[in-house]
Amino acid sequence: MDDAMNSPLVEASGLTRNYASKPGVVAGVIDLSLRVERGEFVVIQGASGSGKSTLLLMLGALLRAERGTLRIDGVELTRLSAVERSGYRARSVGFVFQLFHLVPYLSVHRNVLSGLPSGSAVELSEADRWIDALGLTERRDANPATLSAGERQRVALARALVKRPPLILADEPTGNLDPDNAARVLEHLDHYRRSGGTVVLVTHGSEANRYATQRLRLEAGRWAVPSAFPPL
Amino acid sequence: MNFTLQNILREGWHSRLNSALMLVALTGAVTLLTAVHLLTAAAERETRRVVRDMGFNLRILPKDTDPERFFLEGYSENTLPADTVTRLAAGAGTFITFNHLTPVLERRIRLGGHECLLTGLGDTVVGPGEKKQPMGFRIAPGTAQLGSILAERLGVKVGGTVEVAGRTLRVERVLLEAGTDEDVRLYTALSDAQIALGLPGRISEIKAIDCLCLTADQDPLPKIREALLQLLPEARVIQMRALADARAKQRQASERVSAFAVPMTLLVAAVWILVLAILNVRQRRVEIGLWRALGTGSSRIAALFLGKAVLLGGLGGALGWVVGTLVALRWGPVLFPVTAASLKMDLSLIGPALTWTPLFAAASSFLPAMMAVSQDPAETLRADG
């Protein structure tokens, strides 16, 4: 157990995935290696089409690697069946998306609850706790369509955090937010990291740099040289 | 309440237009099927009544009947034992080909100085378990029914009497002018005719209706004759082709309507639901991807779509039964005035409506549900490459 807790949360080696994202354009990642320790806030930057989202979806077991190994929290993802990968996502990963992706017919409270497996009484109160923590108490029963962009992203954040997963994967979480709301979301992610969680965030912006414990840059599906980054 | 069920209900309300159109399709299908079922039954009753009113179309005669004499006189001069009817009725497979077996004894007689046709009618025998009304008339012994011209010539009215071979018969009814030889007929009970003609225990023919209901181009006569040869080798059969053909066409037309309406209704409803379910899946691609990202299993995602179909199916089945019954009860009597009184709601359809409609809706939504399950979440959730 101790060994497991001392081992890196994410270990990837030789990860490769190609696919046609648009006619004539092959996107993906090529021969990527990655190591993320527990409690890290990893920021992965890159231009559109550089492979950031592909990598993130592979870390979330939503995309299979064509080659390479990917071990997260002691589990080798490339060997899991579809059912096992669903179980892995339900237990170990929280997603935050640029477009929020809230379920349009569920209230704020129900959206947060959708991140939990059973909807038990304990989970109901946990959902309320996160709604309060993210300043959404007044909007608990509101429909997502009536929320501002910042509120929607905080609901998505609460949904990701409510099950306290070891790993949060955030895909351009501030891309649709104004600077104040973007800072607020990043503060919450950083708070989660400081409480023991691990965050991997992909972005083409620089707002998250100040929270990063490790910064990486992707260019055409490969890591850019470390000198491309300014000093932390 | 189960989380999936709650989500189905909330999504159903959220996608009101899609849900309403799906419900309309299911309700419409069950309405049509219920109405078609009730109206088809009414149409069959009506057809049966109409074709029955067309009269007998088969005449089973003694084998040695001279065809020339038969057609010139209008009846057979030969006779069969009266129990031939019961023997025919007892034969295996009789009622596949023949029904409404009515023993008849006919002769030309003089009555009050006028020539007429005496027709003695026995009780009609129908197939086992059938509740069909006897064909033609049921005439009680001691009574008579007169054709219109005969009654006029004899100056007899209802309640009067006629003397037939020394027997006095009370006139029960004077028939409306038919424009056929019926206008000069005297109908009596078979037993009265047998006594009057001195032919006790004898009949001159058995009138019947053929049950094959084949049109003339389907050549039914060889089949009828073959059946009779097996059942009653001492008899021959004459088919009144025009009548039989009209009856068969009427019956086949009614059956064709049902055979067309039911599968067409099911097909249209299935396509309608399929299209709506596919649209629903396409509209919910991101949501499906999200459920995947949250770790929701395939069965639960499929349940969101199939569950919606099943719920709407149950509702559509109930609504369709009610509306279909109302439609049939409202317009059925207009379409089928002769048998209007027999149109009633059919409670036995509720069970199938509530069972089969959800299954049908689920089957129609199965393909879209599988599309939802197999959809690649990475395609819908990525912000960019």
Q: What is the pLDDT of residue B264?
A: 84
Partner A contacted by B252 (CB < 8 A) = no
CB nearest to B293's CB, from A28, A60, A119: A60
Per the CB < 8 A criterion, the answer to whether B212 and B51 are in contact is no
Instruction: Report chain B's mean pLDDT, rounded to a whole number.
Output: 84
Q: What percent of chain B has pLDDT over 90?
A: 32
B chain contacts of residue A175, beta-carbon cutoff 8 Å = 383
Least confident stretch, A12-16, A46-50, B146-150, B190-194: A46-50
Quickly tell me which residue has 């639960």 as its tokens.
B300
| Beta-carbon contacts of residue B175 (< 8 Å; ≥ 6 apart) | B145, B146, B147, B148, B182, B183
3-state helix, strand, coil in chain A (%, to 5): 40, 25, 35
pLDDT digits (tens, 9 = 90+) for A214-230: 999 999 889 986 544 44
Least confident stretch, A98-107, B45-54, B234-243: B45-54
Instruction: Report chain A's mean pLDDT, rounded to a whole number.
Output: 87
Q: Does B5 have pLDDT greater than 80?
A: yes
CB contact under 8 A, B384 and A95: no
> Among residues B337, B344, B379, B269, which one has the least CA distance to residue B33?
B269
Q: Does B312 have pLDDT greater than 80?
A: yes
CATH numbers and ranges of domains, chain A? 38-63+81-220 (3.40.50.300)
pLDDT digits (tens, 9 = 90+) for A49-102: 888 888 999 999 988 899 999 999 889 999 999 889 989 998 899 999 988 899
CB contact under 8 A, B13 and A105: yes
- DSSP letter, residue B84: H
Q: Does B348 have pLDDT greater than 80?
A: yes
Distance from the Cα of B281 to chain A's closest Cα (Å) equals 14
Of the pLDDT bands very low, low, confident and very high (cuts 50, 70, 90), residue B160 is very high
CB contact under 8 A, B290 and A103: yes
pLDDT digits (tens, 9 = 90+) for B95-135: 777 778 889 999 999 998 899 999 999 988 877 766 555 55
> What is the dihedral sign for C-alpha A44, A47, A48, A49?
negative
Distance from the Cα of B377 to chain A's closest Cα (Å) equals 7
Q: Does B47 have pLDDT greater than 80?
A: no
A chain contacts of residue B374, beta-carbon cutoff 8 Å = none
pLDDT digits (tens, 9 = 90+) for B50-96: 666 666 788 889 999 998 888 888 899 999 999 988 888 887 777 77
260-299 in chain B: CB under 8 A from chain A: 286-287, 289-298
What distances in angstroms separate CA B24 from CA B28, B238, B328, one per listed residue? 6, 53, 18
CB contact under 8 A, A105 and B293: no
296-315 in chain B: CB under 8 A from chain A: 296-298
Q: What is the pLDDT of residue B39?
A: 81
Of the pLDDT bands very low, low, confident and very high (cuts 50, 70, 90), residue B261 is confident
Partner B contacted by A105 (CB < 8 A) = yes
Of the pLDDT bands very low, low, confident and very high (cuts 50, 70, 90), residue A3 is low
* Residue B5 to residue B307: CA distance in whole angstroms: 8
Q: Does B304 have pLDDT greater than 70?
A: yes
Q: What is the pLDDT of residue A26?
A: 58
Distance from the Cα of B302 to chain A's closest Cα (Å) equals 14
Domain boundaries, chain B: 3-49+250-381, 58-239
CB contact under 8 A, A171 and B382: yes
For residue B205, with 0-12 CB atoms within 10 Å meaning exposed, 13-18 middle and 19 or more buried, which class applies? buried
Please tell me whether the interface predicted TM-score (ipTM) of this complex is above 0.85.
no
Q: What is the pLDDT of residue B73?
A: 87
